[in-house]
Chains A and B, each alone.
Chain A
Amino acid sequence: MHISEGVLAPAVLTGGMALAAAGTAVGLKKLDYEAIPRVGILSAAFFVASLIHVPVGPVGLHLVLNGLMGLLLGWLAFPAILIALLLQALLFQFGGLTVLGVNTLAMAGPAVLCFHLYRPFLRRGGWWATGAAFACGASAIFLSGLMVALALLFTGEAFLKVAELIILAHIPVMVVEGLITLIIFGFLQKVRPEMLEAIYG
Protein backbone atom coordinates (compact mmCIF):
# COMPACT_ATOMS: atom_id res chain seq x y z
CA MET A 1 0.00 0.00 0.00
CA HIS A 2 2.89 2.36 0.53
CA ILE A 3 3.67 4.44 -2.52
CA SER A 4 7.41 4.86 -3.05
CA GLU A 5 9.27 8.14 -3.14
CA GLY A 6 9.66 9.78 -6.53
CA VAL A 7 6.61 8.27 -8.19
CA LEU A 8 4.01 10.96 -7.75
CA ALA A 9 3.78 14.47 -9.16
CA PRO A 10 4.39 17.43 -6.81
CA ALA A 11 0.77 18.56 -7.12
CA VAL A 12 -0.49 15.20 -5.89
CA LEU A 13 2.06 15.21 -3.08
CA THR A 14 1.05 18.65 -1.83
CA GLY A 15 -2.63 17.85 -2.18
CA GLY A 16 -2.16 14.69 -0.16
CA MET A 17 -0.19 16.56 2.47
CA ALA A 18 -2.87 19.23 2.83
CA LEU A 19 -5.70 16.72 3.16
CA ALA A 20 -3.72 14.55 5.57
CA ALA A 21 -2.94 17.62 7.67
CA ALA A 22 -6.62 18.55 7.74
CA GLY A 23 -7.59 15.03 8.77
CA THR A 24 -4.94 14.99 11.46
CA ALA A 25 -6.17 18.34 12.77
CA VAL A 26 -9.71 17.00 13.05
CA GLY A 27 -8.36 13.91 14.79
CA LEU A 28 -6.31 15.93 17.26
CA LYS A 29 -9.30 18.09 18.06
CA LYS A 30 -11.29 15.00 18.98
CA LEU A 31 -8.51 13.47 20.99
CA ASP A 32 -9.21 13.50 24.68
CA TYR A 33 -7.10 12.30 27.54
CA GLU A 34 -8.70 8.87 27.88
CA ALA A 35 -8.16 8.05 24.22
CA ILE A 36 -4.38 8.50 24.20
CA PRO A 37 -3.44 4.94 25.24
CA ARG A 38 -5.84 3.53 22.66
CA VAL A 39 -4.34 5.67 19.92
CA GLY A 40 -0.84 4.70 21.02
CA ILE A 41 -1.52 0.98 21.08
CA LEU A 42 -3.20 0.95 17.69
CA SER A 43 -0.49 3.13 16.24
CA ALA A 44 2.05 0.55 17.43
CA ALA A 45 -0.04 -2.29 15.98
CA PHE A 46 -0.17 -0.52 12.62
CA PHE A 47 3.57 0.11 12.76
CA VAL A 48 4.32 -3.59 13.24
CA ALA A 49 1.54 -4.95 11.02
CA SER A 50 3.36 -4.00 7.84
CA LEU A 51 6.00 -6.59 8.70
CA ILE A 52 3.45 -9.38 8.70
CA HIS A 53 3.52 -11.07 5.39
CA VAL A 54 0.51 -12.39 3.57
CA PRO A 55 2.38 -14.68 1.20
CA VAL A 56 -0.11 -14.74 -1.66
CA GLY A 57 -0.04 -13.08 -5.02
CA PRO A 58 2.69 -11.73 -7.22
CA VAL A 59 3.90 -8.87 -5.10
CA GLY A 60 3.86 -10.32 -1.62
CA LEU A 61 1.66 -8.23 0.62
CA HIS A 62 1.44 -7.29 4.24
CA LEU A 63 -1.23 -6.41 6.73
CA VAL A 64 -2.38 -2.83 7.02
CA LEU A 65 -4.98 -2.93 9.82
CA ASN A 66 -6.52 0.38 8.82
CA GLY A 67 -10.05 -1.02 9.07
CA LEU A 68 -9.40 -1.98 12.68
CA MET A 69 -8.01 1.48 13.35
CA GLY A 70 -11.11 3.09 11.90
CA LEU A 71 -13.33 0.82 13.95
CA LEU A 72 -11.64 1.68 17.22
CA LEU A 73 -10.42 5.21 16.60
CA GLY A 74 -12.63 7.02 14.11
CA TRP A 75 -10.97 10.31 13.22
CA LEU A 76 -8.15 9.57 15.62
CA ALA A 77 -6.91 7.09 13.01
CA PHE A 78 -5.35 10.06 11.20
CA PRO A 79 -2.79 11.05 13.83
CA ALA A 80 -2.19 7.40 14.75
CA ILE A 81 -1.46 6.36 11.15
CA LEU A 82 0.56 9.49 10.43
CA ILE A 83 2.97 8.82 13.27
CA ALA A 84 3.27 5.11 12.46
CA LEU A 85 3.93 5.88 8.80
CA LEU A 86 6.56 8.45 9.74
CA LEU A 87 8.40 5.86 11.79
CA GLN A 88 8.02 3.25 9.04
CA ALA A 89 9.50 5.68 6.55
CA LEU A 90 12.42 6.52 8.83
CA LEU A 91 13.20 3.04 10.14
CA PHE A 92 12.03 0.66 7.41
CA GLN A 93 12.27 2.94 4.34
CA PHE A 94 8.66 2.08 3.51
CA GLY A 95 7.12 4.90 1.55
CA GLY A 96 9.03 8.09 2.23
CA LEU A 97 8.89 11.52 3.79
CA THR A 98 7.55 13.38 0.77
CA VAL A 99 4.85 10.74 0.16
CA LEU A 100 3.87 10.74 3.83
CA GLY A 101 0.80 12.88 3.23
CA VAL A 102 -0.55 10.80 0.35
CA ASN A 103 0.12 7.53 2.13
CA THR A 104 -1.54 8.78 5.31
CA LEU A 105 -4.56 9.88 3.35
CA ALA A 106 -4.75 6.61 1.43
CA MET A 107 -4.81 4.57 4.62
CA ALA A 108 -6.50 6.82 7.18
CA GLY A 109 -9.15 8.17 4.82
CA PRO A 110 -10.83 4.78 4.31
CA ALA A 111 -10.49 4.09 8.04
CA VAL A 112 -12.57 7.15 8.90
CA LEU A 113 -15.02 6.47 6.11
CA CYS A 114 -15.57 2.89 7.25
CA PHE A 115 -16.02 4.07 10.83
CA HIS A 116 -18.93 6.26 9.83
CA LEU A 117 -20.27 3.75 7.34
CA TYR A 118 -20.45 0.82 9.75
CA ARG A 119 -21.15 2.58 13.02
CA PRO A 120 -24.93 2.12 12.86
CA PHE A 121 -24.50 -1.63 12.40
CA LEU A 122 -21.84 -1.93 15.06
CA ARG A 123 -24.19 -0.18 17.45
CA ARG A 124 -26.89 -2.78 16.89
CA GLY A 125 -24.72 -5.53 18.30
CA GLY A 126 -25.20 -9.23 17.74
CA TRP A 127 -24.73 -10.65 14.25
CA TRP A 128 -25.06 -7.21 12.71
CA ALA A 129 -22.01 -6.02 14.58
CA THR A 130 -20.08 -9.17 13.75
CA GLY A 131 -20.77 -8.81 10.05
CA ALA A 132 -20.02 -5.10 10.13
CA ALA A 133 -16.69 -5.67 11.87
CA PHE A 134 -15.62 -8.06 9.13
CA ALA A 135 -16.85 -5.73 6.40
CA CYS A 136 -15.09 -2.79 8.03
CA GLY A 137 -11.73 -4.55 7.98
CA ALA A 138 -12.15 -5.78 4.42
CA SER A 139 -13.57 -2.70 2.80
CA ALA A 140 -10.99 -0.37 4.31
CA ILE A 141 -8.35 -2.26 2.33
CA PHE A 142 -10.52 -2.13 -0.76
CA LEU A 143 -10.93 1.65 -0.46
CA SER A 144 -7.21 2.12 0.22
CA GLY A 145 -6.47 0.25 -3.00
CA LEU A 146 -8.79 2.64 -4.82
CA MET A 147 -7.06 5.65 -3.25
CA VAL A 148 -3.62 4.41 -4.29
CA ALA A 149 -4.89 3.86 -7.83
CA LEU A 150 -6.36 7.35 -7.77
CA ALA A 151 -3.04 8.86 -6.70
CA LEU A 152 -1.25 6.96 -9.45
CA LEU A 153 -3.83 8.13 -11.96
CA PHE A 154 -2.03 11.45 -12.20
CA THR A 155 1.25 9.77 -13.07
CA GLY A 156 -0.31 8.48 -16.26
CA GLU A 157 -1.05 4.92 -15.23
CA ALA A 158 -4.47 3.86 -16.42
CA PHE A 159 -6.81 4.05 -13.44
CA LEU A 160 -8.98 1.02 -14.09
CA LYS A 161 -6.05 -1.22 -14.85
CA VAL A 162 -4.10 -0.21 -11.75
CA ALA A 163 -7.16 -0.31 -9.52
CA GLU A 164 -8.02 -3.77 -10.77
CA LEU A 165 -4.46 -4.94 -10.24
CA ILE A 166 -4.22 -3.55 -6.72
CA ILE A 167 -7.61 -4.77 -5.62
CA LEU A 168 -7.20 -8.25 -7.10
CA ALA A 169 -3.82 -8.55 -5.44
CA HIS A 170 -5.28 -7.47 -2.12
CA ILE A 171 -8.21 -9.88 -1.95
CA PRO A 172 -6.37 -12.27 0.39
CA VAL A 173 -5.39 -9.32 2.57
CA MET A 174 -9.01 -8.15 2.66
CA VAL A 175 -10.15 -11.52 3.94
CA VAL A 176 -7.38 -11.74 6.53
CA GLU A 177 -7.98 -8.19 7.73
CA GLY A 178 -11.72 -8.75 7.92
CA LEU A 179 -11.12 -11.77 10.12
CA ILE A 180 -8.61 -9.96 12.31
CA THR A 181 -10.95 -7.01 12.77
CA LEU A 182 -13.78 -9.39 13.59
CA ILE A 183 -11.68 -11.35 16.09
CA ILE A 184 -10.41 -8.27 17.86
CA PHE A 185 -13.88 -6.73 17.95
CA GLY A 186 -15.23 -9.94 19.47
CA PHE A 187 -12.38 -10.05 21.93
CA LEU A 188 -13.00 -6.49 23.08
CA GLN A 189 -16.73 -7.14 23.39
CA LYS A 190 -15.90 -9.85 25.89
CA VAL A 191 -12.98 -8.40 27.71
CA ARG A 192 -13.42 -4.64 27.49
CA PRO A 193 -17.05 -3.94 26.62
CA GLU A 194 -16.78 -0.52 28.26
CA MET A 195 -14.21 0.53 25.68
CA LEU A 196 -16.60 -0.21 22.83
CA GLU A 197 -19.48 1.36 24.67
CA ALA A 198 -17.56 4.60 24.86
CA ILE A 199 -17.38 4.59 21.06
CA TYR A 200 -20.61 2.91 20.11
CA GLY A 201 -22.81 3.45 23.15
Chain B
Amino acid sequence: MGKEWRSFLRLLKRLPVLGLGGLLFLMVFVSPALSHRVLVFAYAEGDTIHSEAKFVPDTPVRGGKVLVLEQGSGRELLTGETDNRGKFSFKVPKEAAAGNLDLKIVVEAGMGHRGEWLLKAGSYGRNSEPLKNLASAANRTAVQAAPGPEILKLESQALETILTRVLERQLAPLHARLAEMAVRRVSLTDVVAGLGYLLGFFGLWAYFKSKGQRKV
Protein backbone atom coordinates (compact mmCIF):
# COMPACT_ATOMS: atom_id res chain seq x y z
CA MET B 1 0.00 0.00 0.00
CA GLY B 2 1.44 3.27 -1.09
CA LYS B 3 1.35 6.45 0.82
CA GLU B 4 -1.06 8.00 -1.61
CA TRP B 5 -3.47 5.14 -1.23
CA ARG B 6 -3.49 5.60 2.51
CA SER B 7 -4.13 9.28 2.25
CA PHE B 8 -6.95 8.50 -0.15
CA LEU B 9 -8.41 6.15 2.44
CA ARG B 10 -8.12 8.86 5.03
CA LEU B 11 -9.98 11.18 2.68
CA LEU B 12 -12.70 8.56 2.32
CA LYS B 13 -13.07 8.42 6.07
CA ARG B 14 -13.45 12.16 6.13
CA LEU B 15 -16.14 12.02 3.45
CA PRO B 16 -19.07 12.42 5.83
CA VAL B 17 -17.49 15.52 7.31
CA LEU B 18 -16.79 16.95 3.87
CA GLY B 19 -20.31 16.13 2.77
CA LEU B 20 -21.78 17.94 5.71
CA GLY B 21 -19.53 20.90 5.06
CA GLY B 22 -20.68 20.94 1.46
CA LEU B 23 -24.29 20.82 2.55
CA LEU B 24 -23.83 23.74 4.91
CA PHE B 25 -22.12 25.62 2.11
CA LEU B 26 -25.11 24.95 -0.11
CA MET B 27 -27.49 26.09 2.57
CA VAL B 28 -25.76 29.40 2.95
CA PHE B 29 -24.94 30.23 -0.63
CA VAL B 30 -27.76 28.76 -2.64
CA SER B 31 -29.86 31.61 -3.90
CA PRO B 32 -33.26 31.55 -2.30
CA ALA B 33 -35.13 30.33 -5.33
CA LEU B 34 -38.53 28.99 -4.57
CA SER B 35 -40.46 27.35 -7.23
CA HIS B 36 -43.53 25.80 -5.87
CA ARG B 37 -45.56 28.90 -5.34
CA VAL B 38 -47.81 29.59 -8.29
CA LEU B 39 -48.02 33.13 -9.55
CA VAL B 40 -51.03 34.03 -11.68
CA PHE B 41 -51.61 37.33 -13.37
CA ALA B 42 -54.06 38.59 -15.93
CA TYR B 43 -54.80 41.75 -17.87
CA ALA B 44 -57.35 42.80 -20.43
CA GLU B 45 -56.71 43.88 -23.95
CA GLY B 46 -59.90 44.90 -25.68
CA ASP B 47 -62.44 42.17 -25.08
CA THR B 48 -59.79 39.53 -24.49
CA ILE B 49 -58.27 38.65 -21.16
CA HIS B 50 -54.76 37.28 -21.16
CA SER B 51 -53.68 35.24 -18.20
CA GLU B 52 -50.35 33.69 -17.41
CA ALA B 53 -49.30 31.31 -14.66
CA LYS B 54 -45.87 30.31 -13.53
CA PHE B 55 -44.05 28.75 -10.66
CA VAL B 56 -42.04 31.49 -8.98
CA PRO B 57 -39.48 32.56 -10.09
CA ASP B 58 -39.78 31.63 -13.73
CA THR B 59 -41.11 28.22 -14.77
CA PRO B 60 -44.33 28.32 -16.78
CA VAL B 61 -47.23 26.21 -15.52
CA ARG B 62 -47.82 23.88 -18.46
CA GLY B 63 -51.22 22.33 -18.83
CA GLY B 64 -52.53 23.91 -15.62
CA LYS B 65 -56.28 24.00 -15.14
CA VAL B 66 -57.66 27.53 -15.35
CA LEU B 67 -60.94 28.42 -13.67
CA VAL B 68 -62.54 31.78 -14.21
CA LEU B 69 -64.85 32.49 -11.29
CA GLU B 70 -67.12 35.29 -10.28
CA GLN B 71 -65.41 36.84 -7.30
CA GLY B 72 -68.52 37.28 -5.14
CA SER B 73 -70.39 34.02 -5.53
CA GLY B 74 -67.58 31.79 -6.73
CA ARG B 75 -69.68 30.76 -9.71
CA GLU B 76 -67.66 29.20 -12.50
CA LEU B 77 -67.85 31.22 -15.71
CA LEU B 78 -65.45 29.27 -17.87
CA THR B 79 -62.52 26.88 -17.68
CA GLY B 80 -59.45 26.25 -19.77
CA GLU B 81 -55.92 25.00 -19.77
CA THR B 82 -52.62 26.84 -19.97
CA ASP B 83 -50.42 26.25 -22.98
CA ASN B 84 -46.74 25.41 -23.06
CA ARG B 85 -45.77 28.95 -22.11
CA GLY B 86 -48.18 28.95 -19.19
CA LYS B 87 -50.58 31.28 -20.98
CA PHE B 88 -54.32 31.19 -21.47
CA SER B 89 -56.43 33.83 -23.21
CA PHE B 90 -60.18 34.11 -23.32
CA LYS B 91 -62.93 36.50 -24.37
CA VAL B 92 -64.57 38.38 -21.56
CA PRO B 93 -67.65 36.34 -20.68
CA LYS B 94 -70.79 38.25 -21.73
CA GLU B 95 -72.45 38.03 -18.35
CA ALA B 96 -69.30 39.33 -16.69
CA ALA B 97 -69.17 42.36 -18.98
CA ALA B 98 -72.91 42.96 -18.56
CA GLY B 99 -72.98 42.50 -14.81
CA ASN B 100 -69.72 44.32 -14.13
CA LEU B 101 -68.39 41.32 -12.25
CA ASP B 102 -65.00 41.05 -10.59
CA LEU B 103 -63.27 37.99 -11.98
CA LYS B 104 -61.18 35.59 -9.95
CA ILE B 105 -58.79 33.63 -12.10
CA VAL B 106 -57.60 30.46 -10.42
CA VAL B 107 -54.90 28.22 -11.81
CA GLU B 108 -54.52 24.72 -10.44
CA ALA B 109 -51.07 23.44 -11.27
CA GLY B 110 -51.52 19.95 -9.86
CA MET B 111 -49.99 18.31 -6.77
CA GLY B 112 -51.82 20.77 -4.56
CA HIS B 113 -50.28 23.86 -6.14
CA ARG B 114 -52.63 26.70 -6.78
CA GLY B 115 -52.56 30.42 -7.45
CA GLU B 116 -55.13 33.08 -8.12
CA TRP B 117 -55.49 36.59 -9.46
CA LEU B 118 -58.31 39.08 -9.02
CA LEU B 119 -59.29 41.08 -12.09
CA LYS B 120 -61.48 43.99 -11.05
CA ALA B 121 -64.50 44.84 -13.18
CA GLY B 122 -63.09 48.31 -13.80
CA SER B 123 -59.98 46.99 -15.48
CA TYR B 124 -61.68 45.29 -18.40
CA GLY B 125 -64.66 45.58 -20.69
CA ARG B 126 -65.35 49.31 -20.41
CA ASN B 127 -64.46 49.74 -24.04
CA SER B 128 -66.17 46.65 -25.31
CA GLU B 129 -68.35 48.84 -27.52
CA PRO B 130 -67.27 48.14 -31.09
CA LEU B 131 -64.96 50.79 -32.34
CA LYS B 132 -66.07 50.67 -35.98
CA ASN B 133 -69.68 51.52 -35.29
CA LEU B 134 -68.66 54.52 -33.32
CA ALA B 135 -66.32 55.76 -35.99
CA SER B 136 -68.76 55.28 -38.81
CA ALA B 137 -71.47 56.93 -36.77
CA ALA B 138 -69.18 59.86 -36.33
CA ASN B 139 -68.50 59.94 -40.06
CA ARG B 140 -72.10 59.81 -40.94
CA THR B 141 -72.94 62.65 -38.66
CA ALA B 142 -70.07 64.62 -40.04
CA VAL B 143 -71.36 64.28 -43.57
CA GLN B 144 -74.95 64.93 -42.70
CA ALA B 145 -74.72 67.86 -40.44
CA ALA B 146 -72.61 70.84 -39.74
CA PRO B 147 -70.19 70.59 -36.81
CA GLY B 148 -72.05 70.93 -33.59
CA PRO B 149 -71.75 69.88 -29.99
CA GLU B 150 -73.09 66.41 -30.79
CA ILE B 151 -70.45 65.48 -33.29
CA LEU B 152 -67.79 66.80 -30.97
CA LYS B 153 -69.07 64.48 -28.33
CA LEU B 154 -69.05 61.55 -30.73
CA GLU B 155 -65.59 62.34 -31.94
CA SER B 156 -64.19 62.57 -28.49
CA GLN B 157 -65.85 59.27 -27.67
CA ALA B 158 -64.22 57.59 -30.65
CA LEU B 159 -60.89 59.14 -29.76
CA GLU B 160 -61.17 57.89 -26.23
CA THR B 161 -61.87 54.37 -27.42
CA ILE B 162 -58.87 54.40 -29.73
CA LEU B 163 -56.63 55.82 -27.08
CA THR B 164 -57.72 53.24 -24.55
CA ARG B 165 -56.92 50.46 -26.98
CA VAL B 166 -53.49 51.76 -27.81
CA LEU B 167 -52.71 52.41 -24.19
CA GLU B 168 -53.82 48.92 -23.25
CA ARG B 169 -51.52 47.41 -25.82
CA GLN B 170 -48.62 49.55 -24.68
CA LEU B 171 -49.23 48.95 -21.03
CA ALA B 172 -49.70 45.20 -21.23
CA PRO B 173 -46.03 44.32 -20.66
CA LEU B 174 -45.95 46.84 -17.86
CA HIS B 175 -48.93 45.20 -16.21
CA ALA B 176 -47.18 41.86 -16.43
CA ARG B 177 -44.02 43.33 -14.95
CA LEU B 178 -45.95 44.98 -12.12
CA ALA B 179 -47.70 41.73 -11.32
CA GLU B 180 -44.36 40.04 -11.11
CA MET B 181 -42.98 42.70 -8.83
CA ALA B 182 -46.01 42.52 -6.58
CA VAL B 183 -45.04 38.98 -5.64
CA ARG B 184 -43.15 38.84 -2.42
CA ARG B 185 -40.02 36.84 -2.89
CA VAL B 186 -38.11 35.14 -0.15
CA SER B 187 -35.28 37.36 0.92
CA LEU B 188 -32.30 36.71 3.11
CA THR B 189 -34.05 38.80 5.75
CA ASP B 190 -36.91 36.29 5.87
CA VAL B 191 -34.52 33.39 6.30
CA VAL B 192 -32.56 35.08 9.04
CA ALA B 193 -35.76 36.21 10.72
CA GLY B 194 -37.10 32.67 10.70
CA LEU B 195 -33.92 31.27 12.17
CA GLY B 196 -34.01 33.98 14.80
CA TYR B 197 -37.57 33.12 15.74
CA LEU B 198 -36.63 29.45 16.06
CA LEU B 199 -33.62 30.26 18.20
CA GLY B 200 -35.67 32.49 20.44
CA PHE B 201 -38.53 30.05 20.66
CA PHE B 202 -36.43 27.04 21.61
CA GLY B 203 -34.29 29.20 23.87
CA LEU B 204 -37.36 30.30 25.79
CA TRP B 205 -38.60 26.75 25.92
CA ALA B 206 -35.31 25.49 27.30
CA TYR B 207 -35.30 28.33 29.79
CA PHE B 208 -38.68 27.46 31.22
CA LYS B 209 -37.91 23.75 31.22
CA SER B 210 -34.67 24.37 33.05
CA LYS B 211 -36.47 26.46 35.63
CA GLY B 212 -38.84 23.61 36.27
CA GLN B 213 -36.03 21.11 36.52
CA ARG B 214 -33.73 22.57 39.05
CA LYS B 215 -35.78 24.45 41.55
CA VAL B 216 -33.77 27.08 43.26
Residue numbers of A with Cβ under 8 A of B are: 2-8, 33, 36-37, 39-40, 43-44, 47-53, 58-62, 83-84, 87-88, 91-94, 148, 151-152, 157, 162, 165-166, 169, 179-180, 183-184, 186-187, 190-191
A6 in complex: contacting residue of B114, B195, B199, CB < 8 Å: B114
- Nearest-neighbour CB distance to chain A for B8, whole angstroms, equals 18
**What is the CB-to-nearest-CB distance from B69 to chain A, in angstroms, rounded to a whole number?**
11
Whether A93 lies near B37 (C-beta < 8 A) is: yes
B199 near A162 with CB under 8 A, answer no
**In this assembly, does B194 line the interface, its C-beta being within 8 Å of a C-beta of chain A?**
yes
- Are B62 and A58 in touch, CB under 8 angstroms? yes
A150 vs chain B, min Cβ distance (A): 11
User: Judging by beta carbons under 8 Å apart, are A87 and B202 in contact?
Assistant: no
Any A CB within 8 A of the CB of B55: yes
Q: Does B171 contact A (CB under 8 A)?
A: no
In the bound complex, CA of A62 to CA of B26 (Å): 12
A4 adjacent to B20 (CB under 8 Å): no
A50 partner residues in chain B, CB cutoff 8 A: 34
**A6 partner residues in chain B, CB cutoff 8 A:** 114, 116
CB within 8 Å for A62 and B35 given contacts A91-B194, A92-B186: yes
Q: How far is the CA of A52 from the CA of B198 in the complex (A)?
A: 19
Tell me the total A-B contact number using a CB cutoff of 8 A.
Answer: 131
Q: Are B209 and A183 closer than 8 Å at their CB atoms? A: no
Q: Mark B199-216, 1 if CB is under 8 A from A, else 0.
A: 101110110011001000
- Residue in A8, A52, A157, A179 whose beta carbon sits within 8 Å of that of B30 in the complex: A52
Bound complex: CA A184 to CA B112 (Å): 31
A152 touches B194 (CB 8 A): no
Chain A residues with Cβ below 8 Å from B37 are 4, 93-94
Q: Which partner residue on chain A sits nearest B210 by CB separation?
A: A33
Contact: B205 with A59, CB < 8 Å?
Answer: no
Whether A166 and B19, one on each chain, are in contact in the complex, defined by CB atoms closer than 8 angstroms, is no
B93 proximal to A (CB < 8 A): no
Given the complex, which residues of A lie within 8 Å of B195, measured CB to CB?
44, 47-48
A-B pairs with the 6 shortest C-beta distances?
Answer: A40-B202, A60-B35, A3-B112, A186-B16, A183-B19, A187-B16
- Residues in B with CB closer than 8 Å to A33 are 206, 209-210, 213
Per the 8 Å Cβ criterion, residues 1-33 of B in contact with A are: 15-17, 19-20, 23, 26-27, 30, 32-33
